[in-house]
């Protein structure tokens, strides 16, 4: 019997279906399972692994149900609620973005078609950094394969009703792991080294999400990330968007963004970073959401 843990209030501009469409863009996704009405994901709590399902109730609340595993205490439920709020960016008012998008020829149709879509966050810094590192200079399908291999090899698995659910490995798991072991999963040597460097920094306490969020600005957080060997502008901008919840993050070096702008504007070449910055002047403060919605035109 499913156990309703709690319900979360939902903002007016939230459509779980639109979010699920985005989350369902690859059959290789290994960290959650979506269906027509919800998403299920494994979490680790003190008592062990716990499988949770999110769905929207008839009175427009987000129902959080325990399907299997350990029972969370009150503090763990609070932590889970905070994670979910950040996962779906639930505490952000999107009305200003939709007003902006309605007046924009590129964003208008996309905002109308996918209204209610939120930036799907990656609240865990190590997972966010790894996903960005794995996605450097490869297509999306191969990035998913790398994440799948890394998770299967080093993460935690839970079997329930004929399905396997995975949890992304924590940074501490990689203490003692050698570069060659990650290269065997088809990571390049440089990506393998960067993953291990990031894992070491986070495990030792030299790098944390809390530290980055406490810096004076998202730009300062980006500069902190850029000090890490193997972390470039695209990776740091991506982490600003997906993990640090910076709505002004704008990854002008993203090939997908360049391609969609080329397609939507009818350009005969990819736009330059300077052209992308000029294009985004009306999107100030909402560049990350503009990018997220533009990506939806790719698939």
The tokens describing 164, both together, are 């396997």
Phi, psi dihedral angles at 49 (to 5 degrees): -70, 150
Rounded to whole angstroms, how far apart are CA atoms 292 and 280?
13
Our answer to whether residue 254 is catalytic in this structure is yes
d(CA 173, CA 126): 11
Is residue 160 helix, strand or coil? strand
119: closest CA among 19, 20, 15, 250?
A: 19
DSSP 154-200: HSEEEEETTEEEEEPPPGGGGTT--HHHHHTTT--HHHHHHHHHHHH
Instruction: Count Cβ atoms within 10 A of the Cβ of residue 162 and give its class: 0-12 exposed, 13-18 middle, 19 or more buried.
Output: exposed
Q: Which residue among 91, 104, 254, 268 is the active-site one? A: 254
Q: How many whole angstroms separate alpha carbon 111 and alpha carbon 290?
A: 9
Q: Catalytic positions, please?
A: 254
């Amino acid at each position: 019997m499913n156990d309703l843990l709690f319900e979360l209030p939902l903002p007016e501009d939230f459509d779980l279906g639109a979010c699920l469409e985005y989350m369902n863009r690859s059959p290789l996704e290994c960290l959650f399972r979506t269906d027509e009405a919800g998403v299920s994901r494994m979490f680790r709590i003190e008592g062990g692994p716990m499988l949770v399902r999110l769905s929207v109730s008839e009175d427009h609340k987000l129902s959080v149900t325990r399907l299997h595993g350990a029972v969370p205490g009150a503090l763990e439920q609070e932590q889970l609620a905070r994670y979910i709020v950040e996962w779906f960016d639930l505490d952000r008012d999107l009305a200003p973005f939709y007003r902006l998008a309605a007046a924009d020829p590129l964003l208008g149709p996309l905002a109308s078609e996918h209204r209610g879509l939120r930036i799907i966050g990656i609240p865990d810094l190590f997972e966010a950094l790894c996903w960005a590192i794995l996605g450097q200079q490869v297509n999306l399908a191969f990035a998913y394969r790398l994440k799948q291999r890394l998770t299967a090899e080093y993460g935690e698995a839970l079997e329930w009703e004929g399905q396997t659910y995975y949890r992304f490995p924590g940074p501490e798991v990689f203490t003692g792991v050698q570069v060659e072991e990650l290269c065997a999963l088809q990571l390049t040597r440089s990506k393998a080294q960067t993953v291990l460097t990031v894992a070491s920094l986070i495990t030792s306490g030299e790098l944390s999400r809390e530290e980055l969020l406490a810096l004076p600005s998202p730009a300062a957080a980006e500069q902190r990330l850029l000090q890490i060997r193997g972390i470039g502008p695209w990776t740091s901008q991506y982490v600003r968007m997906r993990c640090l919840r910076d709505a002004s993050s704008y990854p002008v070096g993203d090939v997908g963004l360049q391609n969609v702008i080329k397609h939507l504007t009818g350009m005969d070449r990819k736009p330059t970073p300077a052209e992308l910055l000029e294009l985004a002047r009306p999107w100030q403060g909402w560049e990350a959401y503009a990018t997220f919605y533009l990506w939806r035109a790719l698939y």
